[in-house]
Amino acid sequence: MAIDKVDHIWMNGKLVRWDDAKIHVMSHVVHYGSGVFEGMRAYETPKGAAAFRLPEHVTRLFDSAKIYRMEIPYTPPQISEAILETIRVNKLQSCYVRPVVYRGYGSIGVNPAGCPIDVAIAAFPWGKYLGPEALEQGVAVRVASWTRMAPNTFPALAKSAANYMNSQLIKMEAIADGYAEGIALDARGLVSEGSGENLFLVRGGVIYTPPMADSVLLGITRSSVLALAADLGIPVREESIPREMLYIADEVFMTGSAAEVTPISSVDRIPIGKGARGPVTRRLQEAFFDVIEGRRPDTHKWLTPVYEGVAVAGRAGK
Ligand code: PPE
């Protein structure tokens, strides 16, 4: 997807022009994939733009960095404020935010000692991840021929750049074969997740999603959907899912900051349920969008106002 560029990117504490936000080709991250990142959204609400689950995304960024022994030279509150500042300086309302922490330019060789830990934050408009129709119509997916990272290889709980080489194999294969997305199995052959989404299925009124140990990223949208399901009184089971459960499920859907809550209409060309968005997916989607767009009270305290107390008018419609 083309990037809808904006004015400024936050880099190591300074706001630099979008076109000048560059790194050296000898930076460690370019050669060895040594970066961790976040992806989150802000939404336009009747009370102004609000960042969705900002503290949780910042916490996961620090957790990812900790797993890779990267010391972020800022505190979590400083990163949170930098995220809000990046949205504000670009006068954005509804947008996607991409904070990245990476090993920069300083030395060569696998050992990263001698390379700085650099931090950058970009905020920009990003529409519907799997296409404009996806949220209502659902998307066709395949089970990937590629397996998700095995335990104790690449840590799945870290949102690291390197993990997305695996995601790219899954995604490119799916697109090449005419699907919107691929669902990867874990090293044991159990359902794991999409290239950039967590996976849920519904059968007999019960929601199922793979647990933490099945090579998934602990998605923040995933946790939001689990909370909303509890609010709605829909039973949820976090348990391992065999591949064939996908085909006989009443409903399957995916979640992610970019993908939001996206129904799946077919898996390997086998229609799921009626081959369209199911009622449970629809209820969860409605609950999700009602909260993030400020139509129902933010009982979980998921929204952080972006412009509160700041005398800058947001750019309309973005
Ligand atoms: N699993 C993977 C592998 C993943 O990349 C994401 C997010 C999720 C689950 C869902 O996590 P969360 O966003 O916290 O609900 N994928 C991000 C990047 C997508 C991209 O193409 O880039 C995202 O949705 O921002």
Residues 127-175 pLDDT 10s:
888 887 999 999 999 999 999 999 999 999 999 999 999 999 999 999 9
What percentage of the chain exceeds 90 in pLDDT?
93
Q: Would you state the pLDDT for residue 1?
A: 86
User: Could you give the CA distance from residue 268 to residue 17 in angstroms, rounded to a whole number?
Assistant: 44
Residues 247-289 pLDDT 10s:
999 999 999 999 999 999 999 999 999 999 999 999 999 999 9
Contact between residue 229 and residue 251 where contact means Cβ atoms under 8 Å apart: no
Ligand 1, residue 259: give the atom nearest the CA: 24
Residue bearing the CA closest to ligand 1, atom 11: 219
- Measure 201 CA to ligand 1 centroid, in angstroms: 18
Cα–Cα distances (Å) from 68 to 24, 61, 160, 185, in that order, read 21, 11, 9, 24
- Measure 165 CA to ligand 1 centroid, in angstroms: 14
CATH of region 8-126+298-305, choose from 3.40.630.30, 3.30.470.10, 3.90.1640.30, 3.40.50.300: 3.30.470.10
Q: What is the mean pLDDT of residues 4-13?
A: 97
Phi and psi at residue 169, in whole multiples of 5°?
Answer: -60, -45
User: Could you give the CA distance from residue 47 to residue 307 in angstroms, rounded to a whole number?
Assistant: 10
Q: What is the mean pLDDT of residues 204-208?
A: 98
* Residue range(s) occupied by CATH 3.30.470.10 in the chain: 8-126+298-305
Pocket test for ligand 1, best of 217, 224, 226, 260 (most atoms within 8 A of CB): 217
Q: Would you state the pLDDT for residue 264?
A: 98
Nearest to 87 by CA among 128, 130, 141, 50: 50
- The residue among 316 and 127 whose pLDDT is bigger is 127
Count the neighbouring beta carbons within 10 Å of the beta carbon of residue 160: 24
* Ligand 1 neighbourhood includes 221 CB (under 6 angstroms): yes
Ligand 1, residue 159: give the atom nearest the CA: 5
Single-letter code of the amino acid located at 152: N
Instruction: Write the CATH number of the domain with boundaries 134-277.
Output: 3.20.10.10
Coil, strand or helix: which one is 63? Answer: helix
Residues 49-73 pLDDT 10s:
999 999 999 999 999 999 999 999 9
Ligand 1, residue 224: give the atom nearest the CA: 15
Coil, strand or helix: which one is 125? Answer: coil
pLDDT at 182 over 80: yes
- Measure 107 CA to ligand 1 centroid, in angstroms: 31
Q: In angstroms, how far is CA 141 from the centroid of its own chain?
A: 18
Q: Would you state the pLDDT for residue 309?
A: 66
User: Could you give the CA distance from residue 26 to residue 241 in angstroms, rounded to a whole number?
Assistant: 43
Q: Would you state the pLDDT for residue 311?
A: 52
* Ligand 1 neighbourhood includes 246 CB (under 6 angstroms): no
Ligand 1, residue 57: give the atom nearest the CA: 14
Single-letter code of the amino acid located at 123: A
| Residues identified as active-site | 159
pLDDT at 294 over 70: yes
Q: What is the mean pLDDT of residues 285-312?
A: 90
The CA-based diameter of the chain, rounded to the nearest angstrom, is 57
Cα–Cα distances (Å) from 149 to 33, 146, 224, 246, 290, in that order, read 15, 9, 24, 20, 35
